[in-house]
Structure 1
Amino acid sequence: MLLEGRRERRRAAVRRAGAAAVITLGSVTAAVPGLTAESAHASPAHASPASLRWVPCDPEHPGAECAALSVPVDWAHPDGPSFGLALARRAATGPGTRVGSLVFGPGGPGDSGVDRVVTGIDAFSPEVRRRFDIVSFDPRGVGRSSPVTCSPDLLAQRPSPKIDDQAAFEATLAYNQRLRADCREHTGPVFDHLDTGQTVRDLDAVRAALGEAKLTFHGSSYGTVLGAQYAETYPRRVRAMVLESVMDRSVTSTSAFLRDSAAAAQDSFDEFVKWCDGTPDCALNGRDVRAVWRGLLARADRGELANPSAPDTALSPMDLVNRIALRAFVRPDYAGLAEKLAAMEASEPIPASPTSPAALPAATPVFCADWRFPVRDQREYASLVHAMTTAGPDVPYLLPLHMTAACLGSPTANPQHRLTARGAPPILLSNAVHDPATGYPWAESVERQLGSAGVLLTYEGGGHGSVTNGPCMENAYDRYLIDLQVPPRGTRCPAVTS
């Protein structure tokens, strides 16, 4: 989900954009060699393989090809203004046995599918790579596809998500309004059309442009929102679909979403503690891991904990949770986390200084357009924070709370709802039992919503992403994508130990 989109280079790119930066079609054309003046104004309704001019993306990454597809800013007005949707692909390594194109839906929101393809595609097995062209894209508002761009100075003024009183609540609402206006000015008209409902139409245009009668799709984390809504919108245009680390769009209440998020993160923290207690090589073995962690949180809250990546600055408690612990749970890397925590505990306190959480990605408006989480006032907000802390006592300040605060007062074009995909073929869901971001109960819920079309493949370990975790998972995934063989309902694969 949201853990995957925190890459430093993307935030740095947004900061470098400048207060007066304006993203234009011309700048996208320069960034993506496959976008020509002709394709920039072609009608998406007539997209065909010929409308994609594939050229090498980058000489440093041979084999990756890039192109761009013109799509409308607003699919309700397909003949109106358009922009270039950036794509990348790597051709099947066994062309004689090629099945077709497999489109990968990136997570975040804010992850670049183009970057994933250009720099490497280790999320797929060698057999899938042999049989499919791997294609991905930067969703609208992301990367090279008319990215959301905002004034760096204003982004840096983001209020704390703690919101201790009504005045702070109202200040957050006012800030969000100013930021939306600023981002709209610097991004252009696509800013008001960033929701996944629009991206579903973009994805179908990609399918048509690739010459595929039906879509073969793999969505990971936030990409499962796109995949599920595509199956709901175009159920009979799906050949095969994998939804890995599943988000549940039937969670409509703010409190339920935040509690579920906290419970998933807490479960991963509990697994880390259990592992450390039973592993002599853990750097904190024999210690009270939770006490060490609480001490680090307290130091961070006082502004006395040095940031490991920038020792002269203080690490905020928000970043200790989201950027240190939760990132380690994604892989998962318990040994590395224990070593890092031990080193931080042994470090000298720095002079107390104010801290602030790292900037949220500029693609936050994508999330706000997809999820309606109303909060009436600071009193209700405080009750939500309390509920999260109860569900996840060791993991306060989780990123979903930050996103909820950042979306206060924002319009929601594509609110969440129960999934219906009547007429869709079998859809393979994949989830780890101990996923820190998209808890296993969400995957179970989506399987129930899909009815006979949903089949959940369970990985009995941890981490965010699971389809290549060992031969059991990989073989089931490969057979489904290549031969459309669905694993028996209830299939569970053992955790792989390194």
Structure 2
Amino acid sequence: MLFTGKSISGGGRSALGGRGGKPFLVAGAALLALGVMGQYGPAGEAAAAPGARAGEPYRPAPLAWGACHDLPPGGPAPRSFECAELTVPLDYSKPRGKTMKVALIRLRATDRAHRIGSLVFNFGGPGGSGIDAFAGGSAAQFKKLGTRYDLVSFDPRGVGRSRPVHCAGDKRKDEWLAMDTSPDNASEKAALLSRGRAFVKGCANRSGKSLPHVGTVAAARDLDVMRIALGERKLNYFGFSYGTWLGAEYAHLFPKKVGRTVLDGAVNTELNPLRFFREQAAGFQRALGHFGTWAAQQPQAEPNAKAKGLTKDAVVTRVATLLHSLDTKPIPTDTRRELTQSLGEAGVLTGLYSKAIWPALWQAIQQAESGDGTILLALSDALFQRSPDGHYTNYLDASGSIYCASTPQRYTERDVAKALPAFTKASPVFGPTLAWRSMDCTGWPVKGTPAHHIAAPGAPPIVVIGNTGDPATPYTWAPALAEQLGSGVLLTLNGEGHSSYMTGNPCIQKAVNTYLLHGKPPVNGTKCQ
């Protein structure tokens, strides 16, 4: 999926001592010897489990917090963090059956005397490691909230350190990602469809037993077990991008357990995949135009730009021309890999996620026009979470697996062919690739969760934030989600980039902080510039 949120990050090592996403299970007794022990939750509360008989609720084991290991650089000192593993049912219809571990990380509130409780984060994806995102720099952006909250993040089931799914090795991912994703002829189409079948087969062979259990509904139920294990009567939650879908699903399942909740970079959960990808394509095309307006005003990057008549449309045309040329003539980089059309397109997409990346994107485009694809390839690698040594996290594996477990639609080649004109109209640059993305779940060995309306009757105010310049979760999705929930409070940023709070906009941060710290939501319809 392409609503990655904060998942554009590195990482891939276990916070509990393992490597390559394989958790090292620290003995509870050893952590108890260090004097760290969690709580069951309020008054012996147990999480509801669908399909369980009366008297068979799931009761989480205590959380044993201890030192974290192998965290990515960039955030607070590793010793500031604590890590633990939450035991949850693998299958919530069988609460007394097999279990699995969900890896957690936290920073304890600095003002313990005025502590409110725990604030749980999901930074997006699907497939992004919440531990890597949090420890790698995101935690530093929530210092004010961290005065009165224990800040908690986690790797959702199927991701990173939480029973990760795997579908392919690093070399195979390199090959697949370099392939043409907007086929122009029969042979390219056949290759793309063959790649899709191989990915599905790899997921089934390597992680078949996990695939039925990694969907958004199961992850939302994990949140309620987490709430109880953290000792909270209600879940205080801050979700970004895909994390808004997860948070909305939680509110739908447990409206009476919703605490102070913020959903930033909202996903419209009512859309089928074809419409979802088409609206996302339009969002990236619109963001490319905004980038073009900015680039045309950068004389330092383009000497005598105004004399050359550089305009927004000219910049967009240059990007389209560059990507089209890569279709038949990839260009070299400072690695052994070439920049192909699909990798170049991914690099451009990455650069549109944040206005802070626009200077690097503009430099990358000009460099590629001169025959060097190094920077665009680096941007592409950031999106797909490939490290310089060639190792990928399991983001790609988990992203597809979670999405396909969460949606029931399975499209055919004929469906895509019928939809292609509308996709190309929505985005001449990105439309064809995103149209073919709608077949990602075709042939998936597990049926996705049946489509259902998400609403949260009886829930307290849920702040839903939309950014008018958001490429990945277009702004119109925010008022749609706020209305679906019923108790949604819409907060708008007239800005650029994916999501809003982490742009640093003072108006957005003040509104969110006031709500989370003092319980006063913004007025519905509040706009920030």
TM-score by length of 1: 0.84
Residues 434 and 460 in structure 1, CA contact (< 8 A), matched pair in contact too: yes
- Cα distance in 1 between the residues matched to 2:190 and 2:350: 30
Does residue 351 of structure 2 align to residue 327 of structure 1?
Answer: yes
Match of 1:240 among 260, 263, 279: 260
**What is the match of residue 480 of structure 1?**
515
Secondary structure of the equivalent of 1:71? strand
* In the alignment, structure 1 residue 365 sits paired with structure 2 residue 401: yes
1:266 maps to a residue whose letter is Q
Q: Which residue of structure 1 aligns with residue 73 of structure 2?
A: none
Give the superposition deviation at 1:490: 1.3
Find the counterpart in structure 1 of residue 244 from structure 2: 224
Find the residue that maps to 1:439 and give its secondary structure.
coil
Distance in 1 separating the partners of 2:366 and 2:104: 43
1:66-465 equivalences in 2 (<5 Å): 66-122=83-139, 124-152=141-169, 155=173, 158=176, 160-162=180-182, 176=196, 179-187=199-207, 189-252=209-272, 254-283=273-302, 285-286=305-306, 287=310, 288-307=314-333, 310-347=334-371, 361-363=396-398, 364-376=400-412, 378-396=413-431, 398=433, 400-401=434-435, 403-410=437-444, 411-451=446-486, 453-465=487-499
Distance 1:100 1:36, change over 3 A: same
Question: How far apart, CA to CA, are the structure 2 residues paired with 1:115 and 1:479?
Answer: 27
Indicate the SS of the match to 1:344: helix
CA spacing shift, 1:36–1:246, aligned 2, 3 Å: farther
- Is the alpha carbon distance of 1:427 and 1:290 closer, same or farther for their aligned partners in structure 2, counting shifts above 3 Å? same
Instruction: Say which of 64, 67, 75 aligns to 1:56.
Output: 67
Q: Deviations over 1:73-104 (max 9, x none)?
A: 10010111111111110101111211110000
For 1:9 and 1:402, the matched residues in 2 are separated by 29
The residue type equivalent to 1:422 in the other structure is P
Which sections of structure 1, spanning at least 5 residues, go unmatched?
12-16, 351-355
Q: Distance in 2 between matches of 1:255 and 1:479?
A: 38
Equivalent position of 2:4 in the other structure: 2
| Counterpart-to-counterpart distance in 1, 2:349 and 2:414 | 29
CA distance in 2, matches of 1:446, 1:122: 26
Asked whether the equivalents of residues 11 and 132 of structure 2 are also in contact (C-alpha less than 8 Å), the reply is: no
Amino acid at match of 1:455: V
- Paired residues of 2:121 and 2:237 also in contact (CA < 8 A): yes
* Whole-angstrom CA distance in 2 between matches of 1:210 and 1:491: 33
Alignment partner of 1:212: what SS?
Answer: coil
Structure 2 unpaired stretches of 5+: 14-18, 41-45, 48-56, 71-76, 375-379, 385-391
Q: Shift of residue 177 of structure 1?
A: 5.2
C-alpha distance in structure 1 between counterparts of 2:30 and 2:99, whole Å: 13
Q: Which of 166-175 and 196-205 deviates more?
A: 166-175
Shift of 1:208: 0.3
The residue type equivalent to 1:247 in the other structure is V
Show CA shifts across 1:99-153 (max 9, x none): 1100002311111111233333347433211110000110000000000023426
TM-score, structure 2 as length reference: 0.79
Deviation at residue 372 of structure 1 after TM alignment? 3.4
CA deviation map 1:163-201 (0-9, x unaligned): 567887787667655544443443362222111111111
**Are the counterparts in 2 of residues 326 and 436 from structure 1 also a CA contact under 8 Å?**
no
CA distance in 2, matches of 1:205, 1:419: 20
d(CA) in 1 for partners of 2:27, 2:203 = 26
Seen in structure 2, the aligned counterparts of structure 1 residues 471 and 9 have a Cα distance that, compared at 3 Å, is closer
**CA deviation after TM superposition for structure 1 residue 225, in Å:** 1.1
Instruction: Among all aligned residue pairs of Structure 1 and Structure 2, give the percentage whose two residues are the same amino acid.
Output: 31
- Name the stretch that deviates more: 441-450 or 155-164: 155-164
CA shift, 1:290, in A, is 2.3
Q: Which amino acid aligns with 1:265?
A: F
Distance (whole Å) between structure 1 residues aligned to residue 5 and residue 29 of structure 2: 31
Distance 1:35 1:222, change over 3 A: farther
Deviations 1:364-418 (A, max 9, x none): 1101111234323x233123233222101233455x5464232112244324443
